[in-house]
Structure 1
């Protein structure tokens, strides 16, 4: 029996004990159904080999070799990671199209006595639903953008607002990037499709009847593009703007970007492209600050001479509707807690 997945809710609220992705590790790494585990019936090399035989030699030969590999790998999964399951276990299985890989594995599990089902259409059916939600239809959610100059701790405010009962969407967290020239994180970014899966799952957990606070971003976070439905909703969303003194912002940036500031040669390399936008003189001054270890002065100059002009240009172009402005003299943890209290109290009164 095949599961017909006609809505994303099918994947988010199912009652199966486990979701198993039997595609290759490379396919799984790019994207997967949220919560799925990977038990490949063909690994990366095997899949490439069978595909080459199919195209260059014989479809029959490819299917014969592929079947032997699938059964061998499936048997290893049954004897290994699945061995502890009892007879009532009910897994949901999918591959790329819901074809031979998932069909064969599901047949084997059923023959053992487990109540396995396969996703009709496989991963492609799931991906079509994600694309429809993020590319073809408007978001049902009502967004409020949290804006302000770089270094006003907007990212740090999101979890504080969530702890106070405000719905938030942390795009930088999902994109694994701090959203600026120096925003790279050691773990790297997900693939675009993987980001979109995490995004749609986060959106699914939010109540469309209540506002959702999202940090003001450009249409691209690192190498991740914001899907059209989200970007359109952000462009039309009203703003709440945070402001803080430059001294406080520089201190906050020096702490938030301590890992990047600690690697002088790499930081110099990352700032080099700005010579074409901000001039050689300014970037030479930054290089000197890096060499001297003058982190606070560097962060202040980066804010005043690079990020702030870019923010002002963006604000003139967007001209967002500002619902509320909040000022804070400090960006210490205690000050951010107090700021979050004020923001949450105001957000709870907003109707958009």
Structure 2
């Protein structure tokens, strides 16, 4: 017999029990539990047919149609489930924990699987996701002007055992007009939230959680407001890096990107950059003068950063100059700085 289980209890088993999402591929693509597998009972088109029959004819007719559509697929479902969960221990969910997950659970149980059915389905999971953003976290913000190497420092801190939430990685965007780097594809807003909640659930409540200073939106994705407010209220280290060092780093990073992409991205900030500076920036791109291009756009981004910094509680912002270019040394200096600041 399959076992009903709450989402909270299932997440405790998640590392040892595979989870299958039996919703349609379109539903799954819009948002899913990180690490889950899509084993759709119906295709996108079939789901529409069943839903239309339910509304226009009735529940029983919709169930019969569902069995007609899924009937030839059952052996395939079981074979796929055996690949996903060779030890025959599996979790199942649909949208609300209704007929789709019930039918799949029945078939897998009949075959001999130990089946856990998520009570309330994906809808209940989404409620759990939002709860994660309301939890209090011991956030330590890391700020600094564009090109200061904040992301690389965060990655080094993570290697050193610190808790890090890399929002730009989760959003698949580096935050500026050029943030997609002409290759990254952003997840849906829903999936961004799911991925963030997954990382937050693994944090220790008493330890610092390092987060890079970000605006409310990263590309087209928005940081959930409760978590964003905690970021705004948290203490921040504002790292200071030599301007030429920042220019060199950004020129190296953006120099290999497609010129048309850089020009298009520059055009998007024309109003804020100004027509004359936009013209000079585009000329620099076309002529391969990447350092000149970076210097021009940094005027805008540095001004934006200073404006955001001015809105923070000054008593919670501490500045730290980083002279060494070695990333491990920079990370160690930041950790020592936080220890000394706490002691004082």
**TM-score, normalising length: structure 2:** 0.91
Residue 4 of structure 1 corresponds to 5
Residue 307 of structure 2 corresponds to 313
Residue 280 of structure 1 corresponds to 275
Residue 68 of structure 2 corresponds to 68
Q: Is the contact between residue 147 and residue 246 of structure 2 (CA under 8 Å) also seen in structure 1?
A: yes
Change (3 A) 1:85 1:327: closer
Change (3 A) 1:169 1:15: closer
Change (3 A) 1:68 1:16: farther
Q: Which residue of 222, 225, 228 maps to 2:225?
A: 228
Residue 150 of structure 2 corresponds to 154
Residue 329 of structure 1 corresponds to 323
Residue 132 of structure 1 corresponds to 131
Residue 26 of structure 1 corresponds to 26
1:317 is displaced (CA, Å) by 2.3
1:349 is displaced (CA, Å) by 5.2
Measured in 1, the distance between the counterparts of 2:219 and 2:75 equals: 41
Measured in 1, the distance between the counterparts of 2:4 and 2:56 equals: 34
Q: Is the contact between residue 239 and residue 321 of structure 1 (CA under 8 Å) also seen in structure 2?
A: no
Whether 2:335 is the aligned partner of 1:344: answer yes
Measured in 2, the distance between the counterparts of 1:89 and 1:80 equals: 11
1:54 is displaced (CA, Å) by 3.0
Q: Is the contact between residue 234 and residue 316 of structure 2 (CA under 8 Å) also seen in structure 1?
A: no
User: 4+ residue stretches of structure 1 with deviation over 4 A?
Assistant: 56-59, 83-86, 348-352
* Aligned residues between the structures: 341
1:10 is displaced (CA, Å) by 3.4
Measured in 2, the distance between the counterparts of 1:71 and 1:351 equals: 64
SS at match of 2:237: strand
SS at match of 1:144: strand
SS at match of 2:19: strand
Q: Which residue of 204, 207, 211 maps to 1:210?
A: 207
> What are the ranges of 5 or more consecutive residues in structure 1 without an aligned counterpart?
none
Q: Which residue of 232, 248, 253 maps to 1:251?
A: 248
1:269 is displaced (CA, Å) by 1.6
Q: Which residue of 287, 291, 298 maps to 1:296?
A: 291
Measured in 2, the distance between the counterparts of 1:314 and 1:345 equals: 26
Change (3 A) 1:57 1:313: same
Root-mean-square deviation (CA, aligned residues, Å) is: 2.2
Q: Is the contact between residue 177 and residue 268 of structure 2 (CA under 8 Å) also seen in structure 1?
A: no
Q: Which residue of 180, 184, 192 maps to 1:184?
A: 180
Q: Is the contact between residue 272 and residue 300 of structure 2 (CA under 8 Å) also seen in structure 1?
A: no
Residue 169 of structure 1 corresponds to 165
1:39-58 aligned within 5 A: 39-58=39-58
Cα offsets for 1:201-254 (capped at 9, x unmatched)? 111111110111110001111111111221111010011111111111011112
Measured in 1, the distance between the counterparts of 2:198 and 2:341 equals: 25
Q: Is the contact between residue 39 and residue 77 of structure 1 (CA under 8 Å) also seen in structure 2?
A: yes
Q: Is the contact between residue 92 and residue 116 of structure 1 (CA under 8 Å) also seen in structure 2?
A: yes
Measured in 2, the distance between the counterparts of 1:85 and 1:125 equals: 23
Residue 89 of structure 1 corresponds to 88
Q: Is the contact between residue 132 and residue 201 of structure 2 (CA under 8 Å) also seen in structure 1?
A: no
Change (3 A) 1:339 1:73: same
**TM-score, normalising length: structure 1:** 0.89
